[in-house]
Amino acid sequence: MPKILRRIAVAAQSKDSSAVIFDVTGIVNAAAPKGKDFSVAKSAEEKTTWFGELKSFKDNASVKVHANVDFTKSILGFKGKIGSGSMEYTVSFLMLPEKPMPARIQDLRVGVFPVGPSEGSMRYDLSSAEDGYKGYVLASRWRLDLSDTTAWLGGKTVTVKNPIVWYVDNTFPESWKEPIRKGVLAWNAAFEAIGLKDVMQVRDFPTKEEDPEFDPDNLRYSCLRYVPDATMNARGPSWTDPVTGEILNASVLVYNDVIKLINNWRFVQTSQVDESVRAVKMPQEIIDESLVYVISHEIGHTLGLMHNMG
- Helices assigned H by DSSP within 36-173: 149-153
| Cα 30 from chain centroid (whole Å) | 20
Residue 59 DSSP one-character state: S
Question: What pTM was estimated for this model as a whole?
Answer: 0.86
Helix (H, G, I), strand (E, B) or coil at 185: helix
The winner for highest mean pLDDT among 38-42, 104-108, 224-228, 305-309 is 224-228
pLDDT on residue 47: 65
pLDDT on residue 68: 80
256-291 tens-digit pLDDT:
999 999 999 999 999 999 999 998 889 999 999 999
Report d(CA 131, CA 53) in Å as an integer.
53
Report d(CA 204, CA 242) in Å as an integer.
30
pLDDT on residue 120: 47
Least-confidence region, from 16-25, 152-161, 230-239, 260-269: 16-25
Nearest to 30 by CA among 55, 10, 49: 49
pLDDT on residue 107: 86
The packing angle between helices 258-270 and 284-302, to 10°, is 110
Backbone φ and ψ for 176, nearest 5 degrees, come out as -85, -20
Nearest to 138 by CA among 99, 172, 106, 179: 106
Report d(CA 200, CA 189) in Å as an integer.
10
In percent, the amount of the chain with pLDDT more than 70 equals 86
The DSSP line for 188-240 is HHHHHTTTB-S-EEEEEPPPTTT-TT--TT-TTSEEEEEE-SS---EE--EEE
Residue 187 has pLDDT above 70, yes or no: yes
